[in-house]
Structure 1
Amino acid sequence: MDMKTLRQQARERMNGACRVCPHCDGRACAGELPGMGGIRTAASFRANITALEKVCLRMRLIHEVRAPETACEVLGLPLSLPVLIAPLAGTTFNMGKGLPEERFAQVVTEGARSAGTIACTGDGTPEAFDCGLKAVEAVEGWGIPVIKPWAGDVFFERLERVAQAGCRVVGMDIDTAAITALAKSKRPVSPKSRAELSAIVEKTHALGLKFMLKGVLSVEDALAAEECGCDAIVVSNHGGRAFEAVPGTAAALPAIVRNVKEMTVLADGGVRSGADVLKMLALGARAVLIGRPAIIAGMGGEEEGVQMLLSRMQRQLAEGMLLTGCASVREAGPHLLA
C-alpha cells in the first residue's frame, strides 16, 4: 500500500466526516463537531498549524552526524521515535463509521506497537473506553488509556480497571472539562481543584502507575500540575476542539518548558511531519502526540497504515536531524531554532 491509496481509502471509509485534505488545517471542517473539525470557527485548530509554521529550524551541514538516533524513553517507556498516538475515540459520531470502535482501537494500538511506539486510547462513552482498554489488554498493557475528567467516582473506577489491565501510565484529558454533551447525558465532567488532582495522582501512584495530564496550555496550570505530583503533562488545546479562543500549542510550549522543573513535557497540535516533530522538540517537548493523521492512517490502511505513517515520520525526523546536525532526539533543543 502507498500513501495515495491509503488516503483514498480513508476518504471513502469516513463518509464525508473527513475530506482528507492535502493540507489539514481545519478550514474545510470548521465547526463540524461531532466530526473531525475544530470547535465553532476552528480558530484554535488553525492556530496550531500557523504556530508551527512560524517556527524555523537552523540548517547545518558541516558536522559529524551520520546516523541520527530517533529512539528515546518517555515515562519509562522505550520508544523508537518521540511520537505517540493521541487518545482517539468515537468512530460512530466523529469518524463517519469507517471502522467499528473496537476494531479502530485495535488498529491504532497494534499499529503503534509494530512501529516501536505506543498509542493512547480514548474515553467519552462506556463503549469507547471499554474498546480501548480491551485493545490495550490484548497487547499486554502496552498503551496509555486517557480518562475524561469525570465527576464523582467514575474516574476512580476506570483508573482501577486501567491498573488491572497491566498499564504503566494513565492519563486524563482535563481539556474536555466543559463538554456539555457529556453533562446532558448524565455523565458530567468538570475542572479539578488542586486537592482533587492531588488525590487522583496519589491514587494513581498507589496503584503503581505514572500519571499524565493532557490539556495544559498555561504556565499556571503546568506549575499546579507539577505541585500536585503529575509525572507528565501534554501541552494541548485538544486539537482545537475544546475552545476556539486559545493559542496554538507551539506558541504556548516554550514558556511552560522554561517554568517546569521535573515533569516530562509532551505536546500535540498540528504535528503533520517529521519536521514538525523536530520543531516541537526544539521548543522543549520531550515527545509529541498525533491525532488526525493517525485517524486517517488507521481508517485508510488499518494497522499497516498506522505503521506506515509512523515509519514515514521517523524517516522525515531523521532527515531533519541530519540537516540540522542533531545526533539524537535527546539532544534536541532551542539551539536548533533559526
Structure 2
Amino acid sequence: MDYKELVENARKCLGKCHGCPICNGVACRNTIPGPGAKGVGDTAIRNYQAWQDVRVVMDTLCEKKETDTRLSLFGHTFSYPFFAGPVGAVAMHYSDKYNDVTYNAQLVPGCAEAGILAFTGDGMDAEVMRGATDAIKDCQGVGIPTVKPWNLQMIKEKMDLVKASGALAIAMDVDAAGLPFLKKFVPPAGSKSVEEMKEIIALMDVPFIVKGIMSVKGAVKAAQAGAAAIVV
C-alpha cells in the first residue's frame, strides 16, 4: 500500500471528519470534530499558519553518516521525536469504525512497533481508561495515559489503573477543564490550582506531564506544581 492508497482508505473511516488535504482547522472551525472548536475557533488555524514560518535549515558541510532521528525521554529511547496525541470519544467525533477501546487497542501497539509511543485519551465511561491502560500494559508500559481533571477521588481511581499498566509517564489535559461535561460532573471537576496539581502529581512515582499549557505564566505554574514536562 502506498501513501495515496492509505489516505483513500482512511477517508472511509473518518466519518464526520472532512479528511482535508491540509489539516489546518479551516473546514472544521467551531465544529465537532474540529481541532479549533473552542472560543472563536481559530486556534488550529493560527497554529498552522505559525508553523509555516518555521524552516529546517540543512547543513551542507557535514560528516557523511546516517541521520539519527532518535529521541531519549524519561529513560526510554524512541526512533523519532514525535508521538501520537490523545483522542477521546472516537465514535462521537468520527465514525463507528472504532470506539475508544478498540481504537487504543490498535493505536498503542502500532506506535510501539514503529518505535514511538501513543498518548491515550480519557472519558466518562470507565472502560475508556481501563482499555487504554490494558493496551499500554500489553506493550510493557510504552504509552502515556492522559487523565482529565476530574475530582480528586476519580483521579485516584484512574491513577490506580495507570500504575497497574506500568506506563512510563502520565499526563493530564488541564485545558479540558472548560468542557461542559466536566463542569456538570458530580462531584465537580475542572480547573486545578497549583496546590491542587502538586497534590495530584505527588500521587504518582513516574514523570507527570501537564498538557494544555497556553502561556508562559501557565508553564511557570506547571513547573511550580512539579510537572516533569508540559505540552503547549
TM-score normalised to the size of structure 2?
A: 0.92
- Indicate yes or no: 2:230 matched with 1:233: yes
Aligned to 1:184: 184
Aligned to 1:30: 29
Could you tell me whether the CA contact under 8 Å between 1:176 and 1:189 is conserved in 2?
Answer: no
**What is the CA–CA distance in structure 2 between the aligned matches of 1:187 and 1:179, rounded to whole Å?**
15
- Extract unaligned runs of 5+ from structure 2: none
Secondary structure of the corresponding residue to residue 226 of structure 2: coil
Aligned to 1:201: 201
Which one has more relative contact order, counting CA pairs under 8 Å at least 6 apart? 1
Secondary structure of the corresponding residue to residue 227 of structure 1: helix
**What is the CA–CA distance in structure 2 between the aligned matches of 1:65 and 1:145, rounded to whole Å?**
39
Aligned to 2:37: 39
| Alignment-mate amino acid for residue 36 of structure 2 | G
Secondary structure of the corresponding residue to residue 23 of structure 1: coil
- Which one has the bigger helix percentage? 1
**What is the CA–CA distance in structure 2 between the aligned matches of 1:84 and 1:28, rounded to whole Å?**
25
Could you tell me whether the CA contact under 8 Å between 1:36 and 1:95 is conserved in 2?
Answer: no
Secondary structure of the corresponding residue to residue 210 of structure 2: strand
Secondary structure of the corresponding residue to residue 13 of structure 1: coil
Aligned to 1:3: 3
Count of aligned pairs: 230
> What does residue range 238-317 of structure 1 map to in structure 2 within 5 Å?
none
Could you tell me whether the CA contact under 8 Å between 2:149 and 2:176 is conserved in 1?
Answer: yes
The alpha carbon displacement at 1:100 in A equals 2.9
Secondary structure of the corresponding residue to residue 84 of structure 1: coil
- Indicate yes or no: 2:51 matched with 1:69: no
> What does residue range 95-174 of structure 1 map to in structure 2 within 5 Å?
95-126=94-125, 127-174=127-174
Could you tell me whether the CA contact under 8 Å between 2:213 and 2:230 is conserved in 1?
Answer: yes
The alpha carbon displacement at 1:69 in A equals 0.9
C-alpha offsets along residues 211-261 of structure 1, whole Å, 9 cap, x if unaligned?
1111112111111211221111111xxxxxxxxxxxxxxxxxxxxxxxxxx
The alpha carbon displacement at 1:188 in A equals 4.1
**What is the CA–CA distance in structure 2 between the aligned matches of 1:217 and 1:183, rounded to whole Å?**
20
C-alpha offsets along residues 40-86 of structure 1, whole Å, 9 cap, x if unaligned?
54300101101110122333312225312111211222111111111
**What is the CA–CA distance in structure 2 between the aligned matches of 1:163 and 1:199, rounded to whole Å?**
16
For residue 214 of structure 1, the aligned residue among 211, 214, 221 is 211
**What is the CA–CA distance in structure 2 between the aligned matches of 1:149 and 1:65, rounded to whole Å?**
48
